[in-house]
Amino acid sequence: MSPFQSSQGAPHAAILGIGAYRPSRVIPNADIVAAIDSSDEWIQQRSGIKQRRWATPEETVQLMSVEASRKALAHAGLDARQIDCVVVATVSHMLQTPAIATAIAHELGTEQAAAFDISAACAGFCHAVSMASDFVRAGSARHVLVIGVERLSDITDVGDRGTAFIFADGAGAAVVGPSETPGIGPVVWGSDGEQYDLIRQREDWRDVVASKDPVMPHLTMQGNPVFRWASFAMAKIGQQALDRAGVSIDDLDVFVPHQANMRIIDAMARSMKLPERVRIARDIAEQGNTSAASIPLALDRMIAEGEARSGDTALLIAFGAGLAYAAQVVTVP
């Protein structure tokens, strides 16, 4: 017999509320094409992006996170004091330490909730939802606040043809808590470190400091190999997430893939043979690619516009730098 006990949590976990924050600066393609010798037509054809949102200096990672979280808490009908863990998925909080999560937890008014950041790039939100679900079911936490937040405009080179038109800013939040029935299905996740260099921060900070002419390290992406990988490999991961949750494609109502490129979204929907009636998130057209924030932002828009209804079955699938990916079926709150 062991001399101590392990924790026990709720039978199931679910997303209880969703919230989003879209920064105030709307940047149409016309405003960025000159610096990259591109055109509105090319950007729309290749990526589906018409405009993106970039944050003002005041719209910090913390501010956007707090605003999105307050909306998620209101949607869930919970008070910040009921949150006992905050997980922030981001790659654009500019301090190596401490995690921005502790400042967010404090500003929200949690009672010293556990708080930490995770780094899984565009797949961060789905990683964090999976962790939150496990925490709730294992009894490590009762209500977990999951935040996906980015200010990619800080680390995007506006003169880089391969990335300047894609990346954007925003925050999305979800409250994960106990449920009588399954609301978050088993995660299917993984990584392919052989493709580590395809999307990455260009320079190591030590090289920046050693340089005679230091520049901010920016994101760099070999877009086409990532495009091919995402279009073909990710549909299989989505199918596995459906299979592991025991959900047939005919029972699916909503598809919320990472908003990386409209052509990737269409390719995945075709490969998975999604029925016509499944509503598909297409937030990228107005919002750009916001990495860890893209899935909660897209789901929030679908809920607001009546495309996703409470109780709907949704498939989330996220992928990006690492390369890292994660997918799960969830019930729309």
Contact set with ligand UT7 (CB under 6 A) = 36, 38, 42, 46-47, 122, 161-162, 165, 199, 223-224, 226-227, 230, 260-261, 264, 289, 291, 320
CA distances (Å), 72 to each of 7, 162, 276, in order?
27, 34, 30
Active site residue 126: no
Dihedral (CA of 301, 306, 307, 312) sign: positive
Q: Which residues pair with 148 in a beta bridge?
A: 89, 172
Whose Cβ is closer to ligand UT7: residue 46's or residue 244's?
A: 46
- Cβ 284 to ligand UT7, closest distance in Å? 10
Q: For the chain, state the CA radius of gyration.
A: 19
Clarify whether 261 is annotated catalytic: no
Structure tokens at 179: 């449920």
Cβ atoms of 17 and 78 closer than 8 Å = yes
Cα(86)–Cα(230) distance, integer angstroms: 29
Distance CA 9, CA 13 (A): 9
Closer Cβ to ligand UT7, 21 or 227, answer by number: 227
Give the nearer residue to ligand UT7 in terms of CB position, either 162 or 178.
162
| Catalytic residue of the set 75, 93, 218, 258 | 258
Contact 144, 85 (CB under 8 A): yes
Catalytic residue among 122, 143, 218, 261, which? 122
d(CA 262, CA 138): 37
Q: Which helix (H) or strand (E) holds 173?
A: strand 169-179
Q: How far is the CB of 121 from ligand UT7 (least distance, A)?
A: 7
Checking DSSP bridges between strand 313-320 and strand 324-331, what pairing results, if any? antiparallel
Smallest separation, CB 258 to ligand UT7 (Å): 6
Q: Which residue has the tokens 């498939």?
A: 315
Query: Nearest 5 degrees, angle CA 138-CA 177-CA 122?
Result: 90
Q: Tell me if 117 sits within 8 A of 92, measured CB to CB.
A: no
Q: How far is the CB of 153 from ligand UT7 (least distance, A)?
A: 15
* Shortest distance, position 138 Cβ to ligand UT7, whole Å: 30
Q: Which is nearer to ligand UT7, 156 or 179 (CB)?
A: 156
Nearer Cβ to ligand UT7 (44/82): 44
Least distance in angstroms from the C-beta of 265 to ligand UT7 = 10
Using the minimum distance from each CB to ligand UT7, give the nearer residue, 42 or 116.
42
Residues annotated catalytic, as ranges: 122, 258, 289
